[in-house]
Chains A and B, each alone.
Chain A
């Protein structure tokens, strides 16, 4: 059986499916001998105790992150747990069946009794019952709870969707690839897959419902197809495809350590986007000449307290040292304020992308901001670090942020703590307002990095995660191209360099155009580095400028795409072609 989705990360892989988010528990009914009753009861009690502890942990976490009132939500679970446990113990003694079956029976009875009344409100309470049931059964049966951090063997992860929280604790050595129901080329799963260098197919619609744990999958990240339990013929065919792809990749690898120099001698910087410290090895392997974007959000996610200055310092220092003497650009916190633990009530925003996030949060939560800046500055003596502010919307905001940075530097000077006084400061240009006043901003920073992912969203007013309108998200839209040109020119006119860390800079089709517009630095997922170098080395800067000029004269994204494709087919021996 095969299913078509969107190719999000290239490659071909064979592997067993790991369904993330769904748990399958099969209850078996067995009789227990008289002599084994005590042991069975002990086993059950332990499982219950574990569940009790889990709920207490959850309540503690909630108390810290949201507030004490909300912990009441789990009081019902605890009471239910106690009641059900008591009755189960009694019944095990009476009926001498195993704990799983007995417990399951008791709770199922409660559930069906409630559901049969047709009472809507109570019907929702079955969710609570379900949770208690699953939790204890899981503990009894020894099924490890679903975290991607504890995978037993290499698997293909199949899920409805994957969020940064899901992948934050990923055991990357065990991931063969990703397949998700939702998402597009720039969704989180796609980005992580490319950083890890594994294939991914997204936007499959219903794969998480079609696949079961352990199903054999062929993940074709080139064509965007997934085969579930393929037949012999398909397996053989794909074995050949896989070998062809490996061969192609091997050829590409010959470019990885070469400089990104055009045929007529213009050299640009080709660097990597990373978010987890482990990805540094991948970046170095694929020939990154630096880190163009180190996303720091991961230090704040999937944990119950804010990362301390020391903790952050260690993280930044590690990367600085590993990449030295190559530059590393550290972007300050870039998430919604609700992801931080403030102890205040979290406000649900209707438009989070237009809301309280990134630099806006940092400028409000000064302690948190300063802690991060201190950690970065302290680590700056260990290598070649640069600081970058996200989501800057205008000059006033930039000046405020710079003032905080200067305050922090002054503090460190007074404390006699060393930092790199020449640490470069840049901003991400990802909001149209910033692009339009780029000339003003350029006078007050050392560099720009164009964040095309968000720039395109804001400019065309499209949510790249919304499948219905995702077709509108196109980096080659003339409006986007004009803005990029504007940004690069504003930067160069004011003597600063301009890089790009959005997915566009790693998109083979767009390289010549960006090159021709004068982009100085290309930052991308490590796996694409060799191919991008190859593409840069295949043209002269003069020709690239012509490509850019012509492209900007065209009227639609489709025309631009067709034009570039045509040129690339002529010049290069074609990319990896599907047969």
Chain B
């Protein structure tokens, strides 16, 4: 899962939140369980030294197409 791979590259903690459920963005299991489909809204939360870059990168990733993976 590309999201998790990219998220794991950053030092900051990364979390994904959907419908009030927050999961660890670096854990593939948790991200899978969040079961976010296309069109659903997720909040990306990053906390740490490179938090800004992390969020930018991840938002771009999700927006870019994200059909497979």
Q: Could you tell me which A residues sit within 8 Å of B by CB distance?
A: 72, 75-76, 79-80, 83-84, 87, 106, 110, 113-114, 117, 119, 121-122, 125, 129
| Contact between chains at B35 and A80 (CB < 8 Å) | no
Q: Check A113–B35 contact: CB distance below 8 A.
A: yes
Nearest opposing residue in chain A for B35, CB measure: A117
- Mark contacts of B27-49 with chain A using CB atoms, 8 A cut-off: 1 yes-contact digit, 0 otherwise: 11110110101000000000000
Docked Cα-Cα span, A113 to B37, in Å, equals 14
Are the C-beta atoms of A75 and B35 separated by less than 8 Å?
no
CA distance A114 to B33 in the complex (A): 6
Which B17-69 residues have C-beta < 8 A from chain A? 27-30, 32-33, 35, 37, 69
**Contacting pair A83 B5 (CB below 8 A):** no
By the criterion CB–CB under 8 Å, are B32 and A122 in contact? yes
A122–B35 touching, CB < 8 Å: yes
Classify the interface of chain B: helix, strand, loop or mixed.
Answer: helix
Q: A84-B29, A87-B29, A110-B29 are in contact. Are A79 and B5 (CB under 8 A)?
A: yes
CB-CB nearest in chain B for A121: B37
Main secondary structure of the interface of A (DSSP, over half): helix
Residues of A near B5 (CB, < 8 A) are: 75, 79
Contact A83 B33 (CB under 8 A): no
CA distance A129 to B27 in the complex (A): 14
Closest to B28 in A: A79
In whole angstroms, how far apart are the Cα atoms of A114 and B28 in the complex? Answer: 12
Chain A residues near B28 (CB-CB < 8 A): 76, 79-80, 83
Most buried by B among A83, A87, A114: A83
Chain A nearest Cβ from B38, distance in angstroms = 9
Residues from chain B with Cβ under 8 Å of A114 in the complex: 32-33, 35
Interface residue range, chain B: 10 to 19
Contact indicator per residue, chain B 1-19, by CB within 8 Å of chain A (1) or not (0): 1001100000000000000
- In chain A, what residue has the closest Cβ to B30? A83
Assuming the contacts A75-B5, A76-B1, A79-B5, asked whether A119 and B37 have C-beta atoms less than 8 A apart, the reply is yes
| CB of B21, distance to nearest CB on chain A (Å) | 11
Q: Do residues B1 and A79 form an inter-chain contact, with CB atoms below 8 A?
A: yes
CB nearest to B8 among chain A residues? A79
State how many angstroms separate the Cβ of B39 from the closest Cβ of chain A: 12
Residues from chain A with a CB closer than 8 A to the CB of B27 are: 83
**With a CB–CB cut-off of 8 A, which chain A residues contact B4?**
79
Task: Give 6 closest A-B pairs by Cβ, nearest first.
Answer: A117-B35, A113-B33, A79-B28, A83-B29, A83-B27, A110-B29
Inter-chain CA distance A119–B33, complex, in Å, is 11
CA distance A406 to B1 in the complex (A): 54
Q: From residue A293, how far is it (CB to closest CB) to chain B in Å?
A: 45
Can you give 25 contacting A-B residue pairs, CB < 8 Å? Answer: A72-B69, A76-B1, A76-B28, A76-B69, A79-B1, A79-B4, A79-B5, A79-B28, A80-B28, A83-B28, A83-B29, A84-B29, A110-B29, A110-B33, A113-B33, A114-B32, A114-B33, A114-B35, A117-B35, A119-B35, A119-B37, A121-B37, A122-B32, A122-B37, A129-B32
The residue in chain A whose Cβ has the minimal distance to the Cβ of B37 is: A119
Please give, as numbers and ranges, the residues of chain B lying within 8 Å of A76 by CB-CB distance.
Answer: 1, 28, 69
